[in-house]
Structure 1
């Protein structure tokens, strides 16, 4: 029975994310003591407002944190994007165009029907070894940089890119978020004092595990991304021309997909090696 439920949840996740995430519950992740599974999914598909020219894609060196390098496909376009830059930080914004998409097959963010377009942001240090503190503190550091500079990037004060190239990449990541949530102060759902009266009656379970799985792919046409989180409950959430600045993402960088108007971040992560993102 437990295996049947696990397969049903995984099938739901695959449909909800248009096939990007096929397994959220690994074998033996639930058993007869599992009272119920609560899952949510997010699927995002964005096409670049200015697509990359596939004829300009070129293999070049991407430098890793240990000083070695790998050869990866870099994308560029004749139309240079706007970037924002300071002493130890460069940011790049690539907007998604608003266009009709295929009929959704699962819960999706349909940005094409929204008045608030989304954008893809990249950020890195000008040096080969970034200042973001990979991997620890990286997300919070970029979030702070983003909050400070997103208005600059979107509403003015930006620069035009000189040399411009970013790598294609795919990244898949999954982890047990239970301990992270507890450390963040979300203890109650995991305790015997938990109450879920809004979704069930009778004996109240507590949260046993919170599993999260995400996937993102960036290529010349745009971005596809998905995330699934499951909660498993056990018995007993006219000025002078702006200067040109090079933006060549040939070393580890941060990325995110977000709503520029509200500041909401949908996907946030880092790329240390574009070739190892599917492990």
Structure 2
């Protein structure tokens, strides 16, 4: 999989998006972003910059290839990890087809946007606004947002469930129940996206499930991130027929530098 910057253009979006967009971001477990980074068959992924967030740092990295026993260790500095970009974008054709270049994107069924960085509470609005402009430029008709959430007050029997909430006339992509109305969401970026998409009238869905703060390193069963990433990939596969590698996602090196969200003003009821 190769990575290259998308060509620079003043405003606001440089790549035509498909009618259906799927967004994965660095949620509490970094599950949405890591799940989509496991997309199979991707030959090329574009990364882009958001003008108001020039110093975004990626939080998931690919590890260098492991040496085989036949390869003697080299002297000097060990190879560095390869960073993924903070903001990434892929175009996906029908099942078993690979990511394509810009000019062929009009025949794509899905566009995947991956937000691979920790954002502070104040940066979410800029990201949401940037996405809204992109959707407007490309005449996007449906948006799915994937998220693992801290749902501390969720009834015990629901802790393994997935949920889907829809707005602005969006037809559900799954048969999951809605997240209960009494739940509060403490996720600044998700709150900003929900509010901005609602105001702009974009049909969108949030597919969510309970998650806990992930540890740095690979996804594991111990911190629950492995299970959550697997559940998200299975969900997206079922309603899109896209193919994902759980192993690829689990082996990404995650940097949990963002810490707990201290600004609890960024709160919304579903």
Task: State the TM-score, normalizing by the size of structure 2.
Answer: 0.25
Higher helix proportion:
2
Q: Could you say which structure has the higher strand fraction?
A: 1
